[in-house]
Amino acid sequence: MTTPSDVSHPSNAPLHKSGAGCGPVQAVFLVGFMGAGKTSVGRALAAALGWRFVDLDTRVAARSGRSVAEIFERDGELAFRKMEHDELRGLLTELDTSNTVVSLGGGAWMQPANTALLRESSLPVLFLDAPVEELWQRCLPEQKTRPLLQSEEAFRELYAARRKAYAEGTVLVDTQERSIEQVASQIRLLLGLAGTSATT
């Protein structure tokens, strides 16, 4: 795995929460573009560790009683981003009592208010990535449920526009041609939690 020069941690070193009272990682956030595997890997990682899993989009949908696509269609993206930020802020207040793996929607890390919250928390943020061609193929079966998945050309343009921001202040995890279990295992190594399991 190759880590971009502007990420916050070397790829071959375990990650730990920074700052005073540094201790074992208690939460991790997964970011990346559509199709990167944030939800699937997040669930597998949480199951392996015996941690809670939270998908921020699912949390927004549950709170509003509507799907993300419906919120985009009826209220617009700005309204959704406000809901997303409010849920993220609330979630961060819960992490002291429950070890958690959190999957963020593809656009969440693009919002300065969200990145500020996460950087202030000093919790690890991992950027799941793969070649854009592979991401597109993964997303095709869900085209009707993803509001920003319109055409391959638009998909590529949005990926190119977002990728640099994803790489800033995060640790790159390459998911290309890797199974969900392989990626989850790699993250456990990065977190220094390879010896932790749901049964320990």
pLDDT, tens digit, 9 for 90 and up, residues 71-111: 999 999 999 999 999 999 999 999 888 899 999 998 999 99
The verdict on residue 167 lying in a domain is yes
> Both tokens of residue 118?
């996460």
Average pLDDT over residues 151-166: 90
The verdict on residue 116 lying in a domain is yes
Q: Residue 84's Cα: distance from chain center in Å? A: 13
Short-list 86, 141, 91, CA closest to 113: 86
Rounded Cα–Cα distance for residues 156 and 91 (Å): 31
The verdict on residue 19 lying in a domain is no
The verdict on residue 62 lying in a domain is yes
- The confidence score (pLDDT) of residue 197 equals 67
Give me the CATH number covering residue 150. Answer: 3.40.50.300
- The confidence score (pLDDT) of residue 11 equals 39
The verdict on residue 11 lying in a domain is no
pLDDT at 15 over 50: no
What is the pTM for the complete model shown? 0.82
Expressed as residue numbers, the domain containing 136 is 27-190
- The confidence score (pLDDT) of residue 159 equals 92
In contact, 126 and 28? CB cutoff 8 Å: yes
The verdict on residue 111 lying in a domain is yes
Per residue in 108-147, pLDDT (tens digit) is: 999 999 999 999 999 999 999 999 999 998 888 776 656 5
In contact, 53 and 21? CB cutoff 8 Å: no
The verdict on residue 199 lying in a domain is no
Average pLDDT over residues 13-41: 73
pLDDT grade for 151, boundaries at 50, 70 and 90: confident
- Residue carrying the six token digits 């638009």: 154
- The confidence score (pLDDT) of residue 20 equals 34
The verdict on residue 9 lying in a domain is no
How many domains does one find in the chain?
1
- The confidence score (pLDDT) of residue 154 equals 86
pLDDT at 19 over 80: no
Comparing 27 with 139, the larger pLDDT belongs to 27
pLDDT at 16 over 80: no
